[in-house]
Amino acid sequence: MAVKTWKLLIEPEPLPGDWNMAVDEFLFRRVEASPATYLRFYQWDKPTASLGYLQTASRVVDADYCRRRGVGIVRRITGGKLVLHDHEVTYAVASSDAEVFTETLRDSYRLISQALMRGLELMGLSARMAETSPPAYVKGNMPCFALPARDEIEIGGKKIIGSAQKRTGAAFLQHGSIPLEKDDDLLAAVAAPGARAAASAARPAESGMTSLSEALGRPADFGWAVDHFRRGFADLFGVALEPFILGPGDREAVTALRDERYATDAWTFRA
DSSP labels for 162-227? EEEEEEETTEEEEEEEEESS--HHHHHHHB-HHHHHHHHHHS-SS-SB--HHHHHTS---HHHHHH
Burial class of residue 90 (count of CB atoms within 10 Å of its CB; 0-12, 13-18, 19+): buried
Core vs surface per residue 151-190: b (16+ CB within 10 A) or e: bbbbbeebbbbbbbbbbeebbbbbbbbbbbebbeebbbbb
Domains and CATH numbers, the chain: 5-268 (3.30.930.10)
Q: Active-site residue 144, yes or no?
A: yes
Amino acid at 225: A
* Length of the chain as a residue count: 271
Tell me if 268 sits within 8 A of 56, measured CB to CB. Answer: no
Per-residue pLDDT reduced to its tens digit, 194-240: 665 555 444 444 568 999 999 999 999 999 999 999 999 999 999 99
For residue 207, what pLDDT is reported?
67
Residue 77: strand, helix, or coil: coil
- Compute the C-alpha angle 211/22/249, nearest 5°: 130
**Which member of 9, 61, 71, 144 is catalytic?**
144
Selection from 78, 105, 93 nearest residue 36 by Cα: 93
Please state whether the predicted TM-score (pTM) of the whole model is above 0.85: yes
Per-residue pLDDT reduced to its tens digit, 136-186: 544 455 555 656 677 789 999 899 999 999 999 999 999 999 999 999 899
